[in-house]
Amino acid sequence: MRALICGSGVAGPALAWHLERAGWDVETVERSARFRDGGFMIDFYGPGYEVAERMGLADRLQAVRHPVEEVVYVDAHGRRTGGLTMSPNLTRVVSLLREDLARVILDDVRSPVRYGTGVAAVEQDGSAVRVRLTDGTEREVDLLVGADGAHSGVRALVFGPEDRFARYLGHHVAAYVVRDGALSERVGTRYRMLTVPGLMAGAYALGDDRLAALFLRREPDPAIPANPSRALREAYGGLGWIVPELLGHRPSPPELYYDRVTQVEMDRWSAGRVVLLGDACQAVSLFAGHGASMAMTGARVLADELAGAGPEAVPAALERYERRMRPRIREVQAFGRRFIRWMAPSSRLRIVARDRLLALASLPGADRLFLRALTPGGRSPIPE
């Protein structure tokens, strides 16, 4: 059985890992010219972390984590206005760069990744998928997987244009990593955020003089600006704290990650022998904060359904994967939409209310309650 996976973020390599060990012949293509550095910090836990443990990757994830001692909100002068001290015992919550999670998985994948290559055309019948790649070569496979993100090219070729499936959540996001020893020392092992109505800027020290920066802006227009670096400076240049210094280090794309905040909602995730995975079909958004976990979970569920399936049974396996994952994704997406008011307050009154609620975080065990509040309900699709 042969599979071609498009996308080498988190979902694609995770699926490659499982399929290889099930005896599949796997090839991955990635439209970026090289492994994609940059991105932003994520908190990786829940069913996705459970999958990583079963893959034997937990120790490697712990080795590249960046422990968060506090989540702190500050004012324009850098003074604390609210926050939460995190317990060092939360070992099953791993804060790390999304790129580091992808790298840990890829390091354990045996099959090759062809960088600088994407999917140009797709044709299929009941027995196979014929794929033409952007380098002009062709493949005939039993399964084509679009794990190429919220702006999936495979999805566009097989299911239609992006605007049919993207649900814009009214915000733009930007992220990048800078190297500045002085700034890194000032921020320390705390995730610090400055929030004013419509704008949020956050930073976290990564060690080795590096700092991860995240920017979130309320914006009614989903269009990406022609010059994201300039748009970032214009939107955030008037903020205080360390924001002007962070902006002085801002790169240009692709080192600068800049995108609209969206969710992807589709009536179906597969067509014949083509299936979507991760953000390509189930983007939950920055506000939900569980995209990597859901990508890992989806890869495991898809691999489970494909296990033991002969070539003729692949379409049915893809439908079962969707039935298992879709309820969970709906719950996480709904949670993300509710969480907008917390993460991106629209008024000073809401900011004050949030900071007062966080003042309760000094109570014993508050970090666990906080984590529970940031976790959508619902049953995991991963069997015990």
The pLDDT value recorded for residue 363 is: 59
* Inside any domain, residue 77: no
The pLDDT value recorded for residue 373 is: 54
* Inside any domain, residue 87: no
pLDDT digits (tens, 9 = 90+) for 250-295: 998 888 999 999 999 999 999 999 999 999 999 999 888 889 999 9
pTM of the predicted structure, to 2 decimals: 0.89
Is residue 142 pLDDT above 70, yes or no? yes
3-state secondary structure of 309: coil
* Inside any domain, residue 228: no
For the chain, what is the domain count?
1
* Cα 320 from Cα 306, distance rounded (Å): 9
Range of the domain at 330: 2-37+46-65+97-166+263-341
* Inside any domain, residue 358: no
* Inside any domain, residue 305: yes
* Cα 233 from Cα 290, distance rounded (Å): 29
* Inside any domain, residue 27: yes
The pLDDT value recorded for residue 384 is: 47
* Inside any domain, residue 50: yes
* Inside any domain, residue 382: no
Q: Is the dihedral of CA 371, 347, 215, 39 positive or negative?
A: positive
Q: Residue 151 is part of a domain; what is its CATH number?
A: 3.50.50.60
Where is pLDDT greater, at 190 or 144?
144
DSSP 158-208: HT--GGGTEEEEEEEEEEEEEE-HHHHHHH-SEEEEEEETTEEEEEEEEET
Q: CB of 201 within 8 A of CB of 214?
A: yes
pLDDT digits (tens, 9 = 90+) for 334-383: 999 988 887 788 888 888 877 777 666 555 555 555 555 555 655 555 55
